[in-house]
Copies of this chain bind each other. A is one copy, B any other.
Amino acid sequence: MEAIVLLSGGLDSATALAMSRASGRVCHALSFSYGQRHEVELAAARRVAQALGAASHRIVSVDLGAIGGSALTDNTAVPKGRSEAEIGSGVPVTYVPARNTIFVAHALAVAEVTGAQELVLGVNVLDSSGYPDCRPEWIAAMQQVARLGTRAGVEGHPVRLVAPLISMTKADIIRAGVALGVDYRLTHSCYDPAGDGAACGACDSCVLRRRGFEQAGVPDPTRYV
């Protein structure tokens, strides 16, 4: 079975790719260059795709910078040092408007052209940044779109959206990845890295990642500033 795996270069999607590979899928990685301030994650995505045996890796450009409205694509400051309670409350300024909807929309097109039967998303809700487009109800809505809005869908074989991490904690995800041999040194999570790619250690993404390694009892291989 062939799967398209959305691969940001972060910890979650790398683990989702490893799980999909372990279950025997031929995996085609799909990443997006969208004007993200942490574009260094695309280099991470390339390393991860290669290390985990993706059959191909496609990087699609989408111009979200022209749309704006997010600290990840404009000059708004990325929040630092927020507590876990703060991270869990409300939609943060790092939310990129409709980003995952745009990514999945493109992935539906790629799946339709390549004939892939599965679309693997590394989203999860327990230790997430509070983005609306990471929740199971959003996934269900996008599945309906795949069923009703594509040729494959109306012909009775819509691509199936799967989110293997959806109900896992960050620690669960790290433990699963370690068991599958994921080298997390290859991944990048920080929203606001230094020029040399070192993680800031204080943005929401760094906070969640660092705590995940602690809770999993796994040494954190992240290079911090």
Expressed in whole angstroms, the minimum distance between the Cβ of A60 and any Cβ of chain B is 6
- The answer to whether A98 and B108 have CB atoms under 8 Å apart is yes
Inter-chain contacts of A48 with B (CB < 8 A): none
Q: A67 touches which one: B98, B100, B109, B135 (CB < 8 A)? A: B109
- The answer to whether B69 and A112 have CB atoms under 8 Å apart is yes
The answer to whether the Cβ of A144 comes within 8 Å of any Cβ in the partner chain is yes
- The answer to whether B64 and A109 have CB atoms under 8 Å apart is yes
Q: How many residues of A contact B (CB 8 A)?
A: 43
Q: Per DSSP, are chain A's interface residues mostly helix, strand or loop, or mixed?
A: helix
- The answer to whether B60 and A63 have CB atoms under 8 Å apart is yes
Binary B-proximity of A38-63 (CB < 8 A = 1, otherwise 0): 00000000000000000000001111
The answer to whether the Cβ of A137 comes within 8 Å of any Cβ in the partner chain is yes
The answer to whether the Cβ of A91 comes within 8 Å of any Cβ in the partner chain is yes
Bound: A154/B137 CA distance, A:
11
Inter-chain contacts of A132 with B (CB < 8 A): 148-151, 153-154
Q: A149 touches which one: B60, B133, B148, B154 (CB < 8 A)? A: B133
Q: A62 touches which one: B62, B95, B133, B141 (CB < 8 A)? A: B62
Q: A98 touches which one: B62, B98, B112 (CB < 8 A)? A: B112
Expressed in whole angstroms, the minimum distance between the Cβ of A88 and any Cβ of chain B is 14
